Amino acid sequence: MLRRSVMLGAAAALGAPALLRATPAAAQAAAAAPAAPGFFRFRLGEFTVTSLHDGSRLVPLQGLVRNAPLEEVQRTLAEGFQPTDQLRITFTGQLVDTGRALVLLDTGNGPQAAGAPIGRMAGAMQAAGIDPARITHVVISHFHPDHINGLTQADGSAAFPNAEVLVPEAEWRFWTDEGAASRAPAPMQPLFANVTARFRPYQGRIRQGGDGTEAAAGISLLAAPGHTPGHAAVQVASGAETMVYIADTTNRPELNARRPDFHFVFDMDPVVAEATRRRLLDRISAERLRVAGFHFPFPGAGNLAKDGNGYRFSVVDWATGV
């Protein structure tokens, strides 16, 4: 019930009534059921990164991109071999083992009813042999439910009992400001309440940081505002290798990296979001850095090359996994 009202709140607050049209749950589950718990490991310098799949869900296309006609959105999806009737949004967090710290980047949709197509990260973690109690740090990119709801178990207790949680300070300020909460439209209220509930069991273990703040050695926040006021990317650097976890700087790369000018209804400030997207993706492609995106196809990591006015994504090679 809470989840449903949270999602309704999000979509309604973002002015996307078309997104509220429900896809029958059974159809979604059947369409999205993965073959096995999704995890994948690759090396980044001295670090080992484990990609943890949280599942996927379908959202209506109508109203999804504010500044382009539906046909243009569908044409871009078709070029990227994606369905053109709905958008499949996938969810994949990354866990970085530095040898001294175990750092989780975003937590997924959290506990769901059995058989749900999302909320699978805990199962992926278990399949990968990772005990959540060993995680030393959780870094949260922004406070949308699909990124923070995995902080808690179904009973509301901490899913990561020994972790410090690093959050972008501007994000914390926005979502914990009682003035902002009271001024927000009614449909958005559940998002504020959700933030309170997810962080409640971590009191005394939450650290706020700005651009450059380190979670652990080699892992630092990069300010990336627009999607939400305090949205942050995370730079992961070891030896000569660097990966930028861009979180929701773009949604699916076939759509939003190909067309960085597309303004998704999920971006709270679409103009700032586009400027951030171009700045980050230009740097990632120019410096040939590895990239990971929370809504990129599993395992969510790869590279981005500049291509015309947009960017082309190449997924990490399975054979390079460890």
Pairing label, strands 214-216, 232-238 = unpaired
x/- string (CB under 5 A) for Zn ion, residues 272-301? ------------------------------
The residue among 10 and 243 lying less far from Zn ion, judged by its C-beta, is: 10
What secondary structure does DSSP assign to 225-264, as a single string? -SSSTT-EEEEEEETTEEEEEEETSSS-IIIIIT-TT--B
Question: b vs e for 193-213, b when ≥16 Cβ sit within 10 Å of the residue's Cβ?
Answer: ebbebbbebbeebeebbeeeb
Extended beta strands in the chain, E state: 39-44, 47-60, 86-97, 102-105, 137-139, 164-168, 206-209, 214-216, 219-223, 232-238, 241-247, 290-293, 301-307, 310-315
Interactions with Zn ion, residue window 226-255 (CB under 5 A): 248
Q: Applying CB under 5 A, does 146 fall inside the site for Zn ion?
A: yes
Task: For the CB of residue 133, give the shortest distance to Zn ion in the complex, in Å.
Answer: 26
Q: How far is the CB of 162 from Zn ion (least distance, A)?
A: 26
Using DSSP's 3-state secondary structure scheme, residue 9 falls into helix
222: β partners: 233
- Closest contact distance (angstroms) between CB of 248 and Zn ion is 4
Which CB, 54 or 248, lies closer to Zn ion?
248
The CB-of-262 to Zn ion minimum distance in angstroms stands at 16
Of 15 and 212, nearer to Zn ion (C-beta) is 15
Smallest gap from residue 132 Cβ to Zn ion (A): 21
Please state the closest distance from residue 106 (CB atom) to Zn ion, in A.
Answer: 8
Each residue 15-44 as x (binds Zn ion by CB under 5 A) or -, in order, gives ------------------------------
How far apart, in whole angstroms, are the C-alpha atoms of residue 147 and residue 167?
12
Of 42-50, 143-151, 186-194, 228-236, the segment contacting Zn ion by CB under 5 A is 143-151
Q: Which residues bind Zn ion (CB under 5 A)?
A: 146, 248
